[in-house]
Every structure is written in C-alpha cells, then in structure tokens.
Amino acid sequence: MSTSPARRQAALTALALDDEALLNACEVDYFIASGPGGQHRNTTASGVRLTHPPTELSVTATERRSQTQNKGVALERLREGLKALTFVPKVRRATKPTAGAKRRRLEGKKRTSEKKNLRSGKSFW
C-alpha cells in the first residue's frame, strides 16, 4: 500500500495528539448497531464511526452495547490505522546472481543431463 507523503505526515501529526484532541479532530457518527446483543443494543445508537478527514481514514465499532465503550474501541482502531499509514516500506532493489553462482548452476545441470543420458544409453558428447 503506497501512502502519499501528505497523508503520512497527517497521520504522524494525529498520532502525536492525546485521545481528546484526536476525537476533536475527527468526525464522530453514532448509529444503531444491528446484530446480537438484545433489545438494548438494537434500539440505541451505540455504534460509533470515527472519520479522520486529513487522512480519510474511517473506523467503526459496534461490538459493545455501550456507546462509550465503542468510542474507546474505535479510538484504538483509529490509532492502529494511523500507525499503519506511517509505515514506509523499504526500497527493493533487483539483484543478479553472481558469475560463480551461474557457473555452478550450469555445471549442475550439465552433470544431471549426463547422468540421464547415460541411463538411456544415448550419448551426445
């Protein structure tokens, strides 16, 4: 995953914030979370969606019946996502086999070929 430098910098800036400041920088949406959890969960807006506009990162939490607990879980997930955005992959460089490695590989192929040719009684050399 390639991340633009501006998005990476925004993620680094957001990670430096404390929880309250990070919540203030996000758009918080509450919604009714469906699924198991009984009548309380299905009738209250306990699902939480956090969207961080500078990085366009969005996370949701709907596991708990409590909105406050879901907000905490969503904040943890947001921090994990921001940390993933800051990752800079190492530059990969193409490598070539050495001349000695090429020579050894070809010698091994030649020996195998000679062995197989001797089995059938044919000889090309």
Q: What secondary structure does DSSP assign to the chain, as a single string?
A: ----HHHHHHHHHHHTS-HHHHHHHSEEEEEPPPSSSHHHHHHS--EEEEEETTTTEEEEE-SSS-HHHHHHHHHHHHHHHHHHHT--PPPP------HHHHHHHHHHHHHHHHHHHHHHT----
Distance separating alpha carbons of residues 119 and 117, to the nearest angstrom: 5
**Residue 25 — very low, low, confident or very high, per pLDDT cuts 50/70/90?**
very high
Higher per-residue confidence, 11 vs 123: 11
* Predicted TM-score of the model (pTM): 0.69
The sheet with strand 57-61 has its strands ordered as 27-31, 47-52, 57-61
26-81 tens-digit pLDDT: 999 999 877 776 666 677 888 999 999 999 999 999 988 888 999 999 999 999 99
Q: What is the pLDDT of residue 84?
A: 93
CATH of 5-85, one of 2.60.120.10, 3.30.160.20, 3.40.50.11390, 3.90.1150.10: 3.30.160.20
CB atoms within 10 A of CB 77: 17
What are the structural domain ranges in the chain? 5-85
Q: What is the pLDDT confidence band of residue 111, given thresholds at 50, 70 and 90?
A: very high
